[in-house]
Amino acid sequence: MPPADTQDEQRPLLAGTVATATNTTDSPREEHHEVEAGSPGGTFKRNLGTIEAFAIVISIVIGSGVFTSPGSIDTNVPSPGAALLIWLVGGVLAWTGAATMAELGTAISGEGGVQPYLKYIFGDVFGFLAAWTWVVAVMPATLAILSMVFIESIYSAAGITGQGNKLSHKFLSILVLTLISVANSISTKASTRLNNFFVLTKFITISLIVLAGIVVVTLQLADPNRIVGGGDWRKRNWFENRDSVNPDGSVTHWDGLSQWELFGHLSGALYAALWAYSGWDKAIYVSAELSAPARQLPLAINSSIPTIILCFITANAAYYVLLPWDVVSTTDSVAVTAITKLLGPAFGIVAAVFICLVVAGSLLGNSFVAGRMAVAAADQNWLPRLLSIVGRVGIKETGNTPPNSDAPINAIILSTILSALYILLGNFRTLLTFNGLGEYTFFFLTVVGAIFLRYREPDLERPYKPAVVIPGVFALVSGFVVVRGAAFAPVQAVVLLGLWTLGLSFYWVRGRYLERGLE
């Protein structure tokens, strides 16, 4: 720990230029101890272990992406082999980001994911903007997307498509969202136990898909004349360019594309893969609830991410075994399509049921995290203190009445309301891009900050410290994702800028409000 006379060197990067209403000390290191779990500033108890953290990451990441993204990726790559490489690259990039977050999570205490790290490195306003973005944009958009996918999976199993913009579809999505929110309001232990069940369904679903692929390969090798599965996996070269059939019926001729056009397609495929892996950062959101975070957080990340990569690659290899290759790019429900073609409509419905359970697990995990983001922001006085109350609805009661649970019910209610608005006003694709822009902007800032912090505070205790090339690679990729996303989705980028402007206005008004002692 550096001596006290070096405090000026430890100040946030923009200290002195950002007005803060809640800071009472110049030392960020003293600041972050105030929110350490178990201290007066901490809200949640340290009652989670490695298995729970592992299960939360698995539950959040293995969601709809592995079942819906394969078509988008296949459309943008010249061969199935290239698609599998994209899945591998996307997983490795997610792992580099998660490893960097683990470094920060074991060095800087605090609840709420990236917000305490950005506050420590760059100053209070950056921590606030991260918290604001996650509370009002990223997490509600994520929950809205997953709720829509849940209902869309049911409709698809019934053979009905293109109903996503209908009010009936949206209201059903809100109903599912509400039920998940109620489940998360019971207690932390109830949420983690239910989450463990959903994790089991995820492994079962992916295992069944992989097993189906293995059975097809075995039967085909035993009897080459037998027609089973897609057949292309045995007849064609996995890395040879082949024309891709797009969902609109057009065809991409890969041999005729320029290098720039090819790069555009590959970047689109990588963007889809990174979305499928989204959620890799969520273990740090509960680091303040881990009993031994310095040991458990890296262990949870370095076991869950490789497991997810293996699941995604084997499942996608199975899709290319089960389906003709020109079908993969034309469907957004590749798992249901594959099982239906192999075993018939009845088994397709069974597959849809399992996929709904998988999506429900992701909804539960993300709703679990969303509430904790709002609590952490309220604990920093960035949001009203009402949101930091756990176990009760509304204003905290006086007296010795014990709370009904340890769940952040007020925060969960806020998240549910915002998510319902996104469901009513948005659609799957626009929300997907909007979500990615918000997330990766602050991932980029956080990872760049982690690199900067190594030079500003080399003596900071870091129980987990990966090689500097790991955050360096992720910084380059996340920066690319943000620039590309803003260029191809200017409307979502403008909306996000508007929310940041609104957030900064709220930050200034609330600061003046707190200075006058009105709360």
Q: What is the pLDDT of residues 113-131, one digit of tens each?
A: 788 899 999 999 999 999 9
Contact predicate 141/431, CB 8 Å: yes
Residue 486 has pLDDT above 70, yes or no: yes
Residue 283 has pLDDT above 70, yes or no: no
Using a pLDDT cut of 90, give the percent of the chain over it. 23
Q: Please, which pLDDT band fits residue 487 given cuts at 50, 70 and 90? A: confident
Q: Please, which pLDDT band fits residue 501 given cuts at 50, 70 and 90? A: very high
CA distances from 393 to 132, 285, 386 (A): 22, 22, 9
Which pLDDT belongs to residue 56? 73
Residue 365 has pLDDT above 60, yes or no: yes
Q: How far apart are CA 334 and CA 209, in angstroms?
A: 11
Q: Is 227 helix (H, G, I), strand (E, B) or coil?
A: coil
**Most confident of the following: 58-67, 331-340, 504-513:** 504-513
Task: Name the β-bridge partners of 290.
Answer: 48
- Find all residues with CB under 8 Å of 37, minimum gap 6, and list them: 43, 44, 45, 46, 109, 111, 288, 289
Q: How far apart are CA 192 and CA 56, in angstroms?
A: 8
Which pLDDT belongs to residue 24? 37
Which pLDDT belongs to residue 36? 38
Mean pLDDT over residues 94-101, rounded?
88
Pairwise pLDDT comparison (508 vs 247), residue with the higher score: 508
Q: Please, which pLDDT band fits residue 505 given cuts at 50, 70 and 90? A: very high
Residue 322 has pLDDT above 50, yes or no: yes
Which pLDDT belongs to residue 4? 39
Which pLDDT belongs to residue 171? 92
If one counts every other C-beta atom within 10 angstroms of the C-beta of residue 454, the result is: 15
Q: Please, which pLDDT band fits residue 332 given cuts at 50, 70 and 90? A: low
- Find all residues with CB under 8 Å of 41, minimum gap 6, and list them: 34, 35, 379
- Find all residues with CB under 8 Å of 417, minimum gap 6, and list them: none
Mean pLDDT over residues 149-154, rounded?
80
Mean pLDDT over residues 13-30, rounded?
36
Which pLDDT belongs to residue 471? 92
Which pLDDT belongs to residue 287? 63
**Most confident of the following: 67-71, 229-233, 290-294, 464-468:** 464-468
- pLDDT (tens digit per residue) in 171-208: 999 999 999 888 877 766 666 677 677 778 878 888 88
- Domain borders along the chain are 38-510
Mean pLDDT taken over the chain: 79
Pick the CATH number of 38-510 from 3.40.50.1820, 1.20.1740.10, 1.10.443.10, 3.40.50.300: 1.20.1740.10
Structure tokens at 452: 């900067």
Residue 293 has pLDDT above 60, yes or no: yes
The single residue listed with the structure tokens 């950062």 is 281
Q: Please, which pLDDT band fits residue 38 given cuts at 50, 70 and 90? A: very low
Residue 353 has pLDDT above 70, yes or no: yes
Residue 382 has pLDDT above 60, yes or no: yes
Q: Please, which pLDDT band fits residue 5 given cuts at 50, 70 and 90? A: very low
Q: Please, which pLDDT band fits residue 33 given cuts at 50, 70 and 90? A: very low
Q: Please, which pLDDT band fits residue 518 given cuts at 50, 70 and 90? A: low
| CA-based nearest residue to 70, from 93, 94, 55, 86 | 86
- Find all residues with CB under 8 Å of 127, minimum gap 6, and list them: 115, 116, 117, 118, 119, 120, 380, 382
Contact predicate 466/103, CB 8 Å: yes
Least-confidence region, from 280-289, 295-304, 399-408: 399-408
Q: Please, which pLDDT band fits residue 8 given cuts at 50, 70 and 90? A: very low
* DSSP 8-state symbol, 158: T
Structure tokens at 53: 């953290």
Residue 41 has pLDDT above 60, yes or no: no
- pLDDT (tens digit per residue) in 400-452: 555 556 678 888 889 999 999 999 988 877 887 888 889 889 999 999 999 99
Q: Please, which pLDDT band fits residue 502 given cuts at 50, 70 and 90? A: very high
**Most confident of the following: 125-129, 299-303, 356-360, 365-369:** 125-129
**Most confident of the following: 33-37, 166-170, 331-335:** 166-170
Mean pLDDT over residues 19-47, rounded?
41
Q: How far apart are CA 363 and CA 361, in angstroms?
A: 5
Residue 281 has pLDDT above 60, yes or no: yes
Task: Name the β-bridge partners of 252.
Answer: 244
* Percentage helix, strand, coil for the chain under 3-state DSSP, each rounded to 5: 70, 0, 30
Q: How far apart are CA 385 and CA 513, in angstroms?
A: 13
